[in-house]
Amino acid sequence: MSILEVQNLHKQYKTVVALEDVSFRVEQGSCFGLLGPNGAGKTTTMEIIENIIEPSGGSILYRGGPRDDSFRQQVGIQFQHTSLLNFLTVKETLRCYRQLYRNPEEIDWLVKRCNLKPILEQRNNQLSGGQRQRLMLALALVNRPELIFLDEPSTGLDPQSRRYLWDIVDEIKADGKTIIMTTHSMEEAQYLCDTIAIMDGGKIIAEGSPAELIAAHCSTNTIKLPRTVVESALDGLGLDYHVDNSTISIRTANVDSVLTRLLGTGVDLSQMSVQSPNLEDVFLILTGKQLRD
């Protein structure tokens, strides 16, 4: 069942087209990701859905009908950049935000869900990046929303803090809530999202689950070997490979066949690695671009 449907969304600023005919559905209880580089149109799409900016064309349906005045009371939003009052503690901030809603969530639940107990008495300007993002996630949950928007939630976090935040998002989804998130991290999208729409230049260029996107656009694996070990043995084998400074990368849909042929030449495979295709490969194939954090 779809909780949200975006139909032919278009946004133009004077001569610049920010979005062009963007359409997708978000199923209840799922995590839907908008994936793409900076400037792809992800945040513009989110801000239109959140009813922050007006579209130039298209429509948005929430639970099968147009959004009404109660929409903002029913959704939670974690913005990429939000200013907090530095002199307030985490506990005081939670209490302040609860007063903005008619039926706020209990503070104890928010503290437990977002692991805020160790920092409740810390002031907002004393928080680390990971602690701040956990607080921002708690604030997005204050009004008991069924639909939650996360705008690049782990940008700027160290790997440990990022994975910790991902685990919390997974728990929120397990509660039955629906999440729409933007990210330009392939790893984040592959870990969290049930469905991904890849955006580039204001358009959706591919959509599906991570596994579906990989299967549809990138079925090859990559075998990597040191250049000094294998380069002279590749002549005449008819393999698809790329050479950089120190490594040879062989792309193939049949790893066993390639390994058999390499073994037949007596190549030392002790330093070999095999990489399965991922969303980074899909994005490169679809756009010709690398996607970096």
Is 289 a domain residue?
A: no
pLDDT at 291 over 60: no
Is 55 a domain residue?
A: yes
Q: Residue 68 and residue 72: Cα distance in Å, rounded?
A: 9
Is 62 a domain residue?
A: yes
For 99-201, where are the alpha helices, taking DSSP H only?
107-113, 129-140, 159-174, 186-192
Of 147, 181, 216, which residue constitutes the final position of a domain? Answer: 216
Read off the pTM. 0.83
pLDDT at 50 over 90: yes
Same domain, yes or no: 121 and 36: yes
Q: Percent of the chain having pLDDT more than 70?
A: 95
pLDDT at 282 over 50: yes
Same domain, yes or no: 255 and 135: no
Report yes or no: 9 and 22 within 8 Å, Cβ to Cβ. Answer: yes
Residue 233 φ then ψ, to 5°: -85, -5
Same domain, yes or no: 155 and 255: no
Is 95 a domain residue?
A: yes
Same domain, yes or no: 15 and 160: yes
Same domain, yes or no: 48 and 99: yes
Residue 247 φ then ψ, to 5°: -130, 145
Helix and strand tally (H, E) in the chain? Answer: 11, 14
Is 116 a domain residue?
A: yes
Of 176, 199, 216, which residue constitutes the final position of a domain? Answer: 216
Same domain, yes or no: 244 and 108: no
pLDDT at 3 over 80: yes
- The residue type of 226 is P
180-225 per-position pLDDT tens digit: 999 878 889 989 999 999 998 999 999 999 999 988 888 788 888 8
Same domain, yes or no: 228 and 212: no
The arithmetic mean of pLDDT across residues 61-67, rounded, is: 93
Is 293 a domain residue?
A: no
Which position has the higher pLDDT, 287 or 292?
Answer: 287
Token pair recorded at residue 222: 């990559």
13-24 per-position pLDDT tens digit: 988 999 999 999
Same domain, yes or no: 146 and 245: no
Q: What residue numbers bound the domain in which 97 lies?
A: 2-216
Is 287 a domain residue?
A: no
Same domain, yes or no: 142 and 243: no
Q: Find the CATH number of the domain harbouring 13.
A: 3.40.50.300
Token pair recorded at residue 96: 């302040």
Is 292 a domain residue?
A: no
Same domain, yes or no: 205 and 240: no
Same domain, yes or no: 171 and 73: yes
Same domain, yes or no: 163 and 258: no
pLDDT band at 293 (very low <50, low <70, confident <90, very high): very low
264-280 per-position pLDDT tens digit: 888 788 888 888 888 88
Q: Find the CATH number of the domain harbouring 253.
A: 3.30.70.100
Q: How many domains does the chain have?
A: 2
